[in-house]
Amino acid sequence: MENFNNKIDPLIDESLHEHHSFVADKGQEPLRVDKFLMNRIENSTRNKIQQAAKSGNIYVNGNVVKSNYKIKGNDNIQILFNYPPYENLLLPENINIDIEYEDDSFLIVNKPPNMVVHPGHGNYSGTLINGLIYKFNKLPIDQNHRPGLVHRIDKDTSGLLVVAKSEKSMTFLTKQFYKKSIQREYHALVWGNVEKDKGRIDINIGRNPKNRLQMTTFIKNDQGKSAITHYKVIKRYGYVTHIKCILETGRTHQIRVHMKHIGHTIFNDERYGGSKILKGTHFTKYKQFVENCFKIIPRQVLHAKTIGFIHPKSKEFFSFDSDLPEDFKNVLSKWERYSKSTNL
């Protein structure tokens, strides 16, 4: 019998600002709701989820449940977190930002790895946005209330970002992203020997229904969104390959998902299975070598190297290029020496 007294109140406490909702697969095996949510909410912890349960903020099919509740197929799960509204997270912080170029229309930032672009659950400070609003007083606001942002890159991906400095620039640059006229080139180190010198990957990408922290590919055209990546081999090292990728579209995790789809997961990409040995032996010496590589670059080996677009004012084409970061160059050097010593 349903407990209508515990149904979600439409006038629920306004301090609860972050809501997540999931529907369990039809074939879902019984699983504790806290474990289920841990696999689907980015940057969360089991303790935070259990605290939400203790506060009566986890619901299954509209009813409050405890953290040990076992979900089953087709259950509708909702969780509400208590944290400040987004505008209260936008606090200026004196953060070092590598600005490659700046004029009165935009600036080009070279984002280091391990920096989140904007505040959100689990990342309330130390983000690029916190640093930008410290340096610039009046950045335009995008539709999600994020100052200056025209696009973003993942926390552990390094490289170039364009940030708008005026409303007109934001609108002009955003239209170029929408029309897919922005030119972007990424460099990556991927598992395996990529046989073709170049290729084109054209397959839809959407949220993984079994793990909301991941994106996945869809064969059917009515699922996911169109995504196209062009890749070209730069150098082969036997068990891994250095490639560059040019984006025709800009979906979340696009390169990471597309490269995994063709069997060449990005090296040390933990979320998509690249942080374990996917090519080569498991002999002790080789295993130790790979683990040392992971220590050199404890993130996915992916860098947004170039970006090009039409200038909002002059209407001239501007292009910017960045050097590979030290951790990227160091892991390439290590594979270079290894491949030569083993004749790979």
DSSP 249-261: S--TTHHHHHHHH
Helix 284-296 with 326-341: angle, nearest 10 deg: 160
Give yes or no: 269 in active site: no
Q: Which residues face 109 on adjacent strands?
A: 99, 161
Q: How many CA atoms lie within 13 A of 165 on its CB side?
A: 15
Q: Are strands 16-23 and 302-310 parallel, antiparallel or unpaired?
A: unpaired
Annotated catalytic residue within 75, 154, 156, 269:
154
Q: Are 290 and 338 in contact (CB under 8 A)?
A: no
Rounded Cα distance, 79 and 97, in Å? 35
Q: Are 231 and 199 in contact (CB under 8 A)?
A: yes
**Which element (helix H / strand E) includes 243?**
strand 240-247
Q: Are 259 and 188 in contact (CB under 8 A)?
A: yes
Rounded Cα distance, 219 and 273, in Å? 21
Helices (H) and strands (E) in the chain, counts: 8, 17
Query: What letter represents residue 341's amino acid?
Result: S
- For 207, phi then psi, to 5°, come to -65, 135
**Catalytic site positions:** 154
